[in-house]
Each structure stands twice: as structure tokens, then as C-alpha cells.
Amino acid sequence: MSGTRRLIVAIDGPAGAGKSTVAGRLAAHFGLLNLETGAMYRAFALKAIEKGIATDDAAALEKLAAETSIALQPTPAGNRVLLDGNDVTARVRDAAVTQAASQVSVHPAIRRWMVDLQRKLGENGGVVMEGRDIGTVVFPDADIKIFLDASPEARGERRYEQSGKAAPAEAILKEIRERDQRDRNREQSPLRPAPDALVIDSTDLTLEEVVSRVQELVTARLAVPGR
């Protein structure tokens, strides 16, 4: 292989660790597509909310999934998310959708459906795919695996700043802790680093420092003969 065309970079980690920023910057730098898999779970959660389906009703969710289409359109400003052909990009960031996304994602049938979709999206390579299980389940053979972590307090603080201090800092930290608890402890593909992932704890790093560290890693990987 040559150049960056076939490269698959997996970036996993908890909410607020800076995955989207790092993935977006990497994608721009190396000419890769950035695919945010969290946005897919969010879009599905939005549909469940709209249809009045409880996030613990596994059978109804599975049925709903069979009649749902979700697509991502990477743009320089981030992913556009299409739910059944409609642009729901802004709506999937609502706090209620955020919690519901974490709740629907515990169901094995929903995860299998999403993983299939995500493998199709990334099968030609040339992607930075970010999520929770990309390096462990979706692309266990990814060329580069990064697990981006940070303390809950640091992640809460970043989210607080990003939100323009719109929501109370304590509420943001509580939401992050709840999602951590669910995402890390679910039975099916819980959030954890792949054995061969590079774990970066960004608690005491700026996102600039993280970006340059990851860029160096990708550059080094691309220099390996046979790629």
C-alpha cells in the first residue's frame, strides 16, 4: 500500500476526551475522512425518542433499527448526520439524546447493526474512525489505534468551556460520570483500550499537544515500508 489512501486510524475513548477534535485535525492533515460513530448512535436514539420507544425496550429498538437508515457525511466542519435522509446534525447534540444514545448502545442487536454499518463505511480505508469500540471490535486490524483518556474532571471542564458555560459545570460532570459508568460497564464491547492501542492521557496535555503526538505517530507509521 502507498500513501494514506487505505489507512484506518481508530480513535476510542470516553466522552469529552477530545476525540472529535483530534480526529478532525488528523483527517484534515492527512487527507482522511473523519467518521464519528457516536453520531450514528445519537441519530438512532433521536428516532427512538421521537417514536416514543423506551431505551430499555430491546425488542422494539431492534424492530426500529430494521426500518432506519443512518448516514454520515464528513465535512471539514464535522460530520453531517442523516437520519432516514433528514439532516439531524444539530438535534443529535441535545442532552436528552446524548443520554439516550448511551442507553440504546448497550443492546447487542443495536451494536451488531451499527458495527456492520461502520465496517461498510470504513472498508475502503482512508478514514479516521472515532468511537468507543473501533479498535476493539469494528476494526481490530486498524493500522493505528489511539485510546484517548482524561480524568472526568478535566473532561467535564472542557465540555463546560465548549458549551460556552451554558450548562452548570456540576451537571456536565454528572452526565459524564453517568455515561462513563454505562459505556465502560456494558456487557457487549465495553469501552476499553485495545491491547495494541496507544493510550494517551490528556488530563495534563493541551489538545494541541495531543494532536501533534498523534500526527507524529501516523507519520511514523506511514514511513514503514510496505504500507
Q: Which residues bind ligand DC (CB under 6 A)?
A: 15, 37-39, 41-42, 101-102, 105, 131-133, 179, 183
**Residue 213 CB, nearest approach to ligand DC (Å):** 21
H/E stretch holding 78 reads strand 78-83
Helices 169-185 and 152-162: crossing angle in degrees, nearest 10, is 130
* Nearer to ligand DC (CB atom), residue 32 or residue 139: 139
CA distances from 196 to 27, 144, 192, 199, 216 (A): 21, 9, 11, 9, 17
Residues ≥6 apart with Cβ < 8 Å to 173: 152, 153, 156
Q: From the CB of 38, what's the least distance to ligand DC, in Å?
A: 2
From the CB of 66, what's the least distance to ligand DC, in Å? Answer: 19
Q: For ligand DC, give the closer residue by CB, 151 or 181.
A: 181
In the bound state with ligand DC, the residue whose beta carbon lies nearer, of 112 and 216, is: 112
Nearest to 33 by CA among 93, 81, 73, 87: 73
| Other Cβ atoms within 10 Å of 126 Cβ, number | 17
Write down how long the chain is: 227
Q: In the bound complex, what is the minimum distance in angstroms from residue 144's beta carbon to ligand DC?
A: 17
Burial class (CB in 10 A: 0-12, 13-18, 19+), 139: buried
Minimal distance, residue 107 CB to ligand DC, in Å: 10
| Residue 49 vs 222, nearer CB to ligand DC | 49
User: Cβ closer to ligand DC: 188 or 222?
Assistant: 188
Three cell numbers written together for 97: 439524546
Min CB(102)–ligand DC separation in Å = 3
Nearer to ligand DC, 4 or 136 (CB): 136
